[in-house]
């Protein structure tokens, strides 16, 4: 009986001739055991790729967790009002807009100077 | 399904992070040395909206109508030279996010002024002003739902009126 190394070294033609030879004894039940092995392999493949049901559970949970984290992050990063008195806050806003006006006036001055120079 | 949930999570996180622009700059620099910081919350603006009508002197735009349309105010004035460069970089990063357009820019005597606004033809939903002087910088961010015409008149036209 040939060993596995000798079988691997055989050519295709030699393998075909050996398969047709009546001296090769095929064990009984070989066909059945091969079919069983193939079915078992197929079942293993099916079980290793389960349906996507678990995603339907953790997917919405992930969205809810992201929403919760977003809210927590937003609240944690909200600063405290500088003024407790609305009139003080109003006065600050007024000062700020006056400051913005003074800077805009700078733009007007530059434009006017450029216009005068061009005359 | 997986793609929809991933997209929803990304949008949620992006929205949260993008809403932090002025706030994140304020939080980062408000506690630093030689920095003056002012924050006015939406709640305070609602209270201020109930104050009597007032105009800035020399201006015919009712200032309180602008105030009523605001819902966030951040001011950072820094004389801390060690953070001025990074404050400027953060403000520029905020502007480059694509939301803002340049309203006016001026350079004079070592001072640079930039005013940016965001919104559409009728409404301004955000304003950023950045003033870079030799030893100090000022960052102002105002959020709200302001009439564009009234705001531009308040800032630009009124400056020429005072001359």
pLDDT at B13: 61
Average pLDDT over chain B, rounded to an integer: 83
Mutation to test the B interface, candidates A69, A107, A111, most B Cβ within 10 Å: A107
Interface of A with B in 31-60 (CB under 8 A): 52, 55-56, 59-60
What pLDDT digit, counting tens, does each position of B10-41 carry?
666 655 555 458 899 999 999 999 999 999 99
pLDDT at B162: 43
Cβ contact B2–A80 (<8 Å): no
Tell me the three state secondary structure of residue A11: coil
Q: How confident is the model at residue B154 (pLDDT cuts 50, 70, 90)?
A: confident
pLDDT at B140: 96
- Per-residue pLDDT for B55 more than 80? no
What pLDDT digit, counting tens, does each position of B116-137 carry?
999 998 999 999 999 999 889 9
State how far the Cα of A87 lies from the Cα of B143, in Å rounded to an integer: 19
**Contact in structure between B138 and B77 (CB atoms under 8 Å):** yes
Which residues, given as ranges, of chain A have pLDDT below 50? none
Which of chain B's residues have a Cβ under 8 Å away from the Cβ of A79? 23, 26-27, 30, 39
Tell me the three state secondary structure of residue A71: helix
């Amino acid at each position: 009986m040939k060993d596995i190394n000798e079988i691997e070294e055989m050519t295709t033609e030699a393998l075909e001739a050996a398969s047709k030879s009546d001296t090769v004894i095929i064990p009984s039940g070989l066909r059945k055991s091969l079919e069983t092995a193939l079915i078992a392999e197929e079942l293993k493949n099916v079980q290793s790729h389960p349906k996507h049901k678990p995603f339907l559970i953790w997917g919405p949970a992930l969205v809810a967790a992201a929403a919760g984290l977003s809210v927590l992050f937003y609240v944690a990063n909200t600063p405290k009002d500088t003024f407790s008195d609305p009139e003080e806050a109003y006065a600050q806003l007024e000062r700020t807009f006056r400051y913005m006006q003074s800077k805009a006036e700078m733009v007007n001055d530059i434009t006017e100077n450029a216009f005068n120079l061009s005359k | 399904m997986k793609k929809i949930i991933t997209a929803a999570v990304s949008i949620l996180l992006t929205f949260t992070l993008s809403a932090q622009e002025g706030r994140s700059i304020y939080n980062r620099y408000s506690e630093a040395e030689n920095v003056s910081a002012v924050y006015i919350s939406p709640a305070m603006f609602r209270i201020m909206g109930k104050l009597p009508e007032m105009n800035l002197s020399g201006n015919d735009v009712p200032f309180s109508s602008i105030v009523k349309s605001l819902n966030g105010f951040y001011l950072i004035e820094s004389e801390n030279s060690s953070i001025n460069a990074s404050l400027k970089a953060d403000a520029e990063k905020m502007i480059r996010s694509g939301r803002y357009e340049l309203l006016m820019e001026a350079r004079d005597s070592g001072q640079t002024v930039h005013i940016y606004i965001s919104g559409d033809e009728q409404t301004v939903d955000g304003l950023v002003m950045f003033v870079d002087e030799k030893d100090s910088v000022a960052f102002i961010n105002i959020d709200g739902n302001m009439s564009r015409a009234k705001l531009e008149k308040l800032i630009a036209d009124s400056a020429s009126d005072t001359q």
